[in-house]
Amino acid sequence: MKVYNTLSRQKEEFIPLEEGKVKMYVCGPTVYNYIHIGNARPMIVFDTVRRYLEYKGFDVNFVSNFTDVDDKIIKKAIEEGSSAEEVAQRFIKECKKDMEGMNVRPATAHPLATQEIGGMIEMISKLIEKGYAYATEDGTVYYRTRKFAEYGKLSHKNIDDLQAGHRDIRVTGDLKEDALDFVLWKPKKEGEPYWESPWGDGRPGWHIECSVMSKKYLGDEIDIHAGGEDLIFPHHENEIAQSEAANGVPFSKYWMHNAFLNIDNKKMSKSAGNFFTVREVAAKYDLQVLRFFMLSAQYRSPLNFSADLMEAAKNGLERIVTAAENLRHLMKTAKEGAPTEGEAALLKEAAVYTQKFEDAMEDDFNTADAVSAVFELVKFINTNAASENTDAYFKELYGQMEALCNVLGIILEKEEEMLDEEIENLIAERKQARKEKNFARADEIRDALLEKGIQLKDTREGVQWKRI
């Protein structure tokens, strides 16, 4: 499997640090509003990378943070007269709803910056101890950028060019030793959240949180660190400087970055007004369509969001789901028995599309070509599945479709969610069955509900239920 590594600017063979295991960290959103469709791109892309790694048999430990303390969150809290914590908690909840709609699986861990302050203080102290950081008299701690000899290795920037760029924007009153130094800890300002530290009350800079959370949940060395391309500099460059100076080992083996999502061929920006939240898109489309649209391009190519392309994605997705529906329908009345000789030959032909799909994914997760392979399989199914085929043949084809769509995160059969009323009715029926000592029926109902994710609990006050 080949992965493009921003560090080497090349596609490299993927060899994890530990055989069969992948440790992966994806920088998550800053939660001060509903996520926009640009934020959705890394979520969908790296969820698909995770799914493909799992399809290949790797055990993936996938960590993604929420930045829940930051200037924008504080500003929003002041505007609405609430607290930063309240704003962050609300939008984490909303973000998780959007993720569910896009079929982005929850990470193994979703750490919050505000819950990891202790670890950040520890790492900053270590950096000071090793001479990589210093505190100034106003209670700010800076990273001593020039001390880290490899600074610039990810963004391929030359430190002297950076210096030249910085000279004119140096802020007066700044107590930095060097214009390139960046903040690890900043002193508190009136009305802002703060934590106690050896350098006085304050809060951490943004970059330190990812170094600390990655270390805590995955260890000093990880396999993949990912995010949007705007994070290469300075965020990821600074993360490398912090982690490698503190831990003394290479931070991440592979650095993956998705290209930007544009709108109508223009950079998405709030000020220009060409800006959509995932929630706005959800009002018009099933979020599966948004997911499918995102996968229509390789993740390192810029992608343009437009009404036409969303319509095309909707139609494409419909073609896939319809083919799967037809197979399910055919399966219901199909004759039993092993595939015939002719069918076996056809199945062999169909297997070529799985191979094509895998070849595309092995080449730096080229989902655009992988989607084409799925379309070819759909076309094959539409011409080679009819009522005279065997059940085993349909099952085989369906399993093949399902396996590929599962990697892409496309749901072929949506489970109808049970309404509260239906659940209550079944609980009443179970109660009646128990009264009539029909325990078999009562157990059957309990199991059926459990399968739909409803757990029953018999209490003195009666039966309680919850979704699990």
Which residues of the chain form contacts with ligand AMP (CB under 6 A)?
27, 29-30, 38-39, 41-42, 227-228, 230-231, 258, 260-261, 268
Among residues 7, 22, 24, 27, the one that binds Zn ion under rule CB under 5 A:
27
Select from 42-50, 185-193, 204-212, 251-259 the region that touches Zn ion (CB under 5 A). Answer: 204-212
Select from 2-10, 26-34, 172-180, 398-406 the region that touches Zn ion (CB under 5 A). Answer: 26-34
455/467 Cα distance (integer angstroms): 6
Cβ neighbours around 315 below 10 Å, total? 10
Rule CB under 5 A: say whether 407 interacts with Zn ion.
Answer: no
210 binds, among Zn ion, ligand AMP, none (CB under 5 to 8 A by kind): Zn ion
- Report the SS3 class of residue 425: helix
234/180 Cα distance (integer angstroms): 11
Name which of 214 and 258 has its Cβ closer to ligand AMP: 258
Name which of 238 and 298 has its Cβ closer to Zn ion: 238
251/240 Cα distance (integer angstroms): 6
CB of 214 to Zn ion, least distance (A): 8
Name which of 33 and 243 has its Cβ closer to ligand AMP: 33
Beta strands across the sheet bearing 202-204: 133-135, 141-143, 182-187, 202-204
Select from 209-217, 302-310, 320-328, 364-372 the region that touches Zn ion (CB under 5 A). Answer: 209-217
Name which of 27 and 180 has its Cβ closer to ligand AMP: 27
Select from 121-129, 207-215, 348-356, 411-419 the region that touches Zn ion (CB under 5 A). Answer: 207-215
377/290 Cα distance (integer angstroms): 22
Name which of 210 and 287 has its Cβ closer to Zn ion: 210
Select from 25-33, 290-298, 336-344, 431-439 the region that touches Zn ion (CB under 5 A). Answer: 25-33
Rule CB under 5 A: say whether 43 interacts with Zn ion.
Answer: no
CB of 62 to ligand AMP, least distance (A): 15
Rule CB under 5 A: say whether 24 interacts with Zn ion.
Answer: no
Cβ neighbours around 282 below 10 Å, total? 17
CB of 310 to ligand AMP, least distance (A): 16
Cα–chain-centroid distance for residue 289? Answer: 17
80/159 Cα distance (integer angstroms): 42
29 binds, among Zn ion, ligand AMP, none (CB under 5 to 8 A by kind): ligand AMP
CB of 124 to Zn ion, least distance (A): 16
What's the burial of 76, exposed, middle or buried (CB within 10 Å: 0-12/13-18/19+)?
buried
CB of 435 to ligand AMP, least distance (A): 55
Torsion-angle region of 140 (φ positive above 0: left; ψ -120 to 50: alpha; else: beta) = beta
Rule CB under 5 A: say whether 210 interacts with Zn ion.
Answer: yes
Query: Rounded to a whole number, what is the distance in angstroms from the first to the last CA of the chain?
Result: 36
Name which of 22 and 208 has its Cβ closer to Zn ion: 208
SS3 content of the chain, % helix, strand, coil (to 5): 50, 20, 30
105/96 Cα distance (integer angstroms): 10
Dihedral angle over CA of 150, 156, 159, 162, nearest 10? -150
Residue nearest to ligand AMP (CB): 228
CB of 162 to ligand AMP, least distance (A): 20
Rule CB under 5 A: say whether 69 interacts with Zn ion.
Answer: no
Rule CB under 5 A: say whether 112 interacts with Zn ion.
Answer: no
Tokens, residue 304: 């343009």
What's the burial of 416, exposed, middle or buried (CB within 10 Å: 0-12/13-18/19+)?
exposed
Name which of 42 and 409 has its Cβ closer to ligand AMP: 42
Select from 71-79, 203-211, 303-311, 340-348 the region that touches Zn ion (CB under 5 A). Answer: 203-211
